[in-house]
Chain A
């Protein structure tokens, strides 16, 4: 009886969540982007985010004119699912006609886009352990490597070599950030009154480096390097929806 009750409660909760998803989508299609965002924000707080939810939230943020938040949503959606069509379309739209600058993908980042970053990690780990065990297992048993061991080691080494660039590309793709502040100065030094060398627009994607004195070393799409305030640069690799700027230190 208790089990049936629990199942019924779970089904009811699932149904309520689906209802809210549907209501959010309807609000979005009706042009109420603010309302849709509110509902998606509640769902994200309760259930966590998925690539689809992030991509949808990115669309709504873009419609509200909040470039920075939209770019964070789309970039984050692509980290979860490199093949997400909505996020890809959003980024293409923003880069082509929206005035947003985004560093072009390097070959290893394009390569890493074939699989999710966790899949690359698991593949690299599995292949590395395969090579290690194929070599070590006969030794542990006091025997020589047999044909099967050689074959396993060869397969593992091949997989490891293939997953190496994928890991590199994933790591590189995670080291990016989106500028959230309109016309944020790119500074020559990581100080409050550092000399501005360029201006970074809201929503522009930058590659990030080390951090110092409340600033992060970045390179822009054009290759120009400088320091950006940490409060302005939101890392792409982070949990959930974009952080509220009002609470930023």
Chain B
């Protein structure tokens, strides 16, 4: 029984014994800020369960902005009775002293995936006067929003350090789902011999894209030692780029996806003096910076003088930044013809606007004669040959023209679309409407004389009331009396159907129906004051003392005229 228990325990512990072990070593153990270091990861596997070689290590290393890392090789060996794989990773220490950490990740081997625990390390303080003199890398990208489908030319510029110089670059790649990346050439640039690595980016998804470009440079120590001592210098750049769609506003209908800055480089024909019906080849070459490989060939319409057929260019990309579009042209007419226009619309990301270019046409001398008559009559190709042969002559034909018969030259645009005609008719309608309105008003006045007189009297009374108040404020007794009498007469006249000038104070009192003594005295006083001089001198000193009664009376008259 105890033996069975022991066997069961051994069987349960067997998987634990078969676990992989991971160790790491840093050289140097405490790097200076910005100092390159080498990380060695040793993975030991059980003897009966080998790991095999590591695969895809480069893609599985964590991508950190402050600690660039690149896989630089692996060493297989035997250690402690089991198989050991040592992975060598080149890295650069962060620029700030202190404790740092490489997060946990996993490495795929041929047989399984091995988790690597997080690695903590320390970056020491820089020593006084210490100068590492390392080479540096700098990313150059256009400082503007990028556009979907455009090809952005970017560069990484490597500056030599005091103690080492960059001798080569390799393995430049980009991680990011929203971009398509293509690495270009690396070359020495400038008098200082700086290394420049070129690449092309094409955004393929709109929005904010996390762009991470990494690579490795070869640093040559300026110590005169052998090139075999060159060191790996990994680098990582992290950028957030904003990718927009090309604007829809102002987009030409013939825009074929061209984004960049282009010029029409040349337009050539394979034969400048063809015969009628002889096909020649026209090649338009576009040059500039942009997505030349993503442009749809511009459409060249059939001209009156040419039949145009697009054709496949065998070498569309003859030089960097160039694209050739080829068309087959067949002249229809003889004489000096110009090649049909080739136009291309493109979106310029610098100016954020659409532009259009046109290739300068080439003159072609076409010889031969136009056909006397082209047979445009269709025949059913599926019909039996006997039926086609037996078919009667088409019943219709062209009539002989008599172009000289039309002496008067005419216009095709209809008269109905003439703005002058429309304007004249509109003006006539407005005039007629105005005339009808005047006639209707006149007729209404004729039918309602009393209402017109009342309305006129109402206006007169209002004016008189206004004058009365002004005269009261100015203490002008004479004007006050005249205004009161004028208003009273104008207001009473329609009530009596009489002439305003002929009314007396008694008429006014009778028309208004005022019986109060105070108001009657005010009215009589106003009449005496206003008209007294006409009948033997002024009988009243003034009407200012009756102002309130007169104003009230005028206002009452005006109200009655509104009924």
Q: Do A and B bind each other?
A: yes
Residues of A within 8 A of B (CB): 18, 21-22, 24-25, 28-29, 31-34, 40, 47-53, 55-57, 59, 62-67, 69, 76, 79-80, 85-86, 89-90, 92-94, 96-99, 117-118, 121-122, 125, 129, 132-133, 136, 139-142, 167, 170-171, 174, 180-182, 191-192, 202, 213-215, 229-232, 237-240, 244-249
Q: Check: B409 CB closer than 8 A to any chain A CB.
A: yes
Known contacts A97-B378, A213-B253, A237-B413; is A181 also within 8 Å of B301 by CB? yes
Q: How many residues of B contact A (CB 8 A)?
A: 61
Contacts A/B (CB < 8 Å), 24 sampled: A33-B373, A34-B334, A50-B408, A56-B402, A65-B376, A89-B396, A89-B398, A97-B378, A98-B376, A98-B378, A99-B378, A118-B414, A136-B435, A139-B436, A141-B439, A142-B442, A167-B416, A192-B253, A229-B253, A232-B301, A238-B412, A239-B411, A246-B338, A248-B301
* Contact (Cβ within 8 A) B399 A89: yes
Check B304–A69 contact: CB distance below 8 A: yes
B370 close to chain A: CB less than 8 A: yes
Q: Taking beta carbons and an 8 Å cutoff, which residues of B are in contact with A?
A: 252-256, 296, 301-306, 332-334, 338, 340-341, 343, 370-374, 376-378, 394-416, 421, 425, 428-429, 432, 435-436, 439-440, 442-443
For A34, give the chain B residue with the smallest CB separation: B370
B392 nearest CB across to chain A (Å): 11
Q: Is the CB of A25 within 8 A of B404?
A: yes
Who on chain A is nearest to B248 by CB? A213
The residue from B296, B398, B403, B436 contacting A40, defined by CB atoms under 8 A apart = B403
User: Which residue of A is nearest B442, CB measured?
Assistant: A142
On whether the beta carbons of A239 and B412 are closer than 8 Å, the reply is yes
Contact at B374–A244, with CB atoms within 8 Å? no
Point out the residues of chain B lying under 8 angstroms from A97, CB to CB.
377-378, 394-396
CB distance from B336 to the nearest CB of A (A): 13
A188 → chain B, closest Cβ, in Å? 15
Contact B416 A121 (CB under 8 A): yes
Question: Is the Cβ of B376 less than 8 Å from the Cβ of A52?
Answer: no
Q: Contacts A22-B404, A118-B414 given; 20 further ones with Cβ under 8 A?
A: A34-B370, A59-B398, A62-B398, A64-B370, A69-B304, A89-B399, A98-B377, A121-B415, A121-B416, A129-B428, A139-B439, A141-B439, A174-B414, A181-B302, A215-B253, A229-B253, A238-B412, A239-B413, A245-B304, A245-B340
B397 touches A140 (CB 8 A): no
Q: B371, B376, B394, B397: which contacts A89 (Cβ < 8 A)?
A: B397
| Contact (Cβ within 8 A) A48 B409 | yes
Shortest Cβ distance from residue A51 to the other chain B in the assembled complex, whole angstroms: 6
Question: For A249, what are the chain B residues with a Cβ–Cβ distance below 8 Å?
Answer: 343
**Contact assessment for B396 and A28 in the assembled complex, using a CB-CB cutoff below 8 Å:** no
Asked whether A96 and B370 contact (CB < 8 A) given A40-B403, A171-B416, A214-B253, the answer is no
Choose from B254, B440, B443 the contact partner of A214 (Cβ within 8 Å). Answer: B254
Task: State how many angstroms separate the Cβ of B79 from the closest Cβ of chain A.
Answer: 62
Distance A186 CA – B401 CA, assembled complex (angstroms)? 34
Known contacts A56-B401, A86-B401, A140-B439; is A170 also within 8 Å of B414 by CB? yes
Name the contact of A76 in the complex, choosing from B397, B402, B412, B428 (C-beta under 8 A). Answer: B412
Chain B residues with CB under 8 A of A80: 410, 412
Residue of B nearest to A55 (CB): B401
For B414, the chain A residues whose CB sits under 8 A away are 79, 117-118, 121, 170, 174, 237
> In the complex, A174 Cα to B255 Cα: how many Å?
31
Q: Which residues of B contact A122 (CB under 8 A)?
A: 415
Q: How far is the CA of A91 from the CA of B26 in the complex (A)?
A: 91
Q: In the complex, A33→B421 CA distance in Å?
A: 40
Q: For the complex, what is the distance from the CA of A182 to the CA of B306, rounded to whole Å? A: 12
Cross-chain contact B396 with A245 (CB below 8 angstroms): no
The interface residues of chain A lying within 8 Å CB-to-CB of B410 are 48-51, 80
Q: How far is the CA of A79 from the CA of B399 in the complex (A)?
A: 18
Q: How far is the CA of A85 from the CA of B338 in the complex (A)?
A: 36
Q: Is B409's CB under 8 angstroms from A49's CB?
A: yes
Query: Which residues of A lie under 8 Å from residue B252 when comparing CB positions?
Result: 214
List the B residue with the shortest CB-CB distance to A48: B409
Q: Is the pair A90, B399 in contact by a Cβ cutoff of 8 Å?
A: yes
Minimal Cβ-Cβ distance residue in B for A170: B414
Option from B397, B413, B416 in Cβ contact (under 8 Å) with A93: B397
A219 CB to closest chain B CB, in angstroms? 21
CB of A63 within 8 A of CB of B374, answer: yes
Give the shortest distance, in Å, between A144 (CB) and chain B (any CB): 12
Scoring B255, B343, B396 by chain A CB atoms within 10 A of each residue's CB, the highest score goes to: B396
- Docked Cα-Cα span, A237 to B417, in Å, equals 11
Closest chain-B Cβ to A71's Cβ sits at a distance in Å of 11
**A31 and B372 form a contact (CB under 8 A):** yes
Residues of A within 8 A of B306 (CB): 246
| B395 / chain A contacts, CB cutoff of 8 Å | 96-97
- Determine the chain A residues whose CB is within 8 A of the CB of B305 once the complex forms: 246
Chain A nearest CB, measured from B348 CB (Å): 19
Residue of A nearest to B370 (CB): A34
Return chain B residues, CB-CB under 8 Å to A245. Answer: 301-304, 340
Q: How far is the CA of A48 from the CA of B408 in the complex (A)?
A: 9
Asked whether, in the complex, the Cβ of B371 is within 8 Å of the Cβ of A65, the reply is: yes
Q: How far is the CB of A233 from chain B (nearest CB, A)?
A: 12
**A67 and B436 contact, Cβ closer than 8 Å, known pairs A50-B409, A171-B416:** no
Task: Report whether B394 and A52 are in contact in the complex, using a CB–CB cutoff of 8 Å.
Answer: no
Name the contact of B401 in the complex, choosing from A59, A67, A238 (C-beta under 8 A).
A59
Q: Which among B332, B372, B409, B415 is the interface contact of A118 at CB below 8 angstroms?
A: B415
Q: Which residues of A contact B374 (CB under 8 A)?
A: 63-65
Residue among A57, A62, A133, A244 making CB contact with B376, cutoff 8 Å: A62
Per the bound structure, the CA–CA distance linking A202 and B256 in Å amounts to: 24
- A249 to B253 Cα, complex, angstroms: 10
Of B343, B404, B435, B442, which is in contact with the most chain A CB atoms at under 10 Å from its CB?
Answer: B404
State whether B436 touches A140 (Cβ < 8 A): yes
Given contacts A21-B403, A69-B304, contact A246 B341 (CB under 8 A): yes
Interface centre among B304, B395, B403, by most A CB within 10 Å? B403
A229-B302 Cα distance, complex, nearest whole Å: 13
Give A128 to B303 CA distance when docked, in angstroms. 46
B404 touches which one: A21, A96, A170 (CB < 8 A)? Answer: A21
Alpha-carbon distance A141/B398, docked complex (angstroms): 60
Assess the B304–A50 pair: CB atoms within 8 A: no
Q: Within the assembled complex, what's the spacing in Å between the Cα atoms of A49 and B394? A: 30
B304 engages A244 (CB within 8 Å): yes
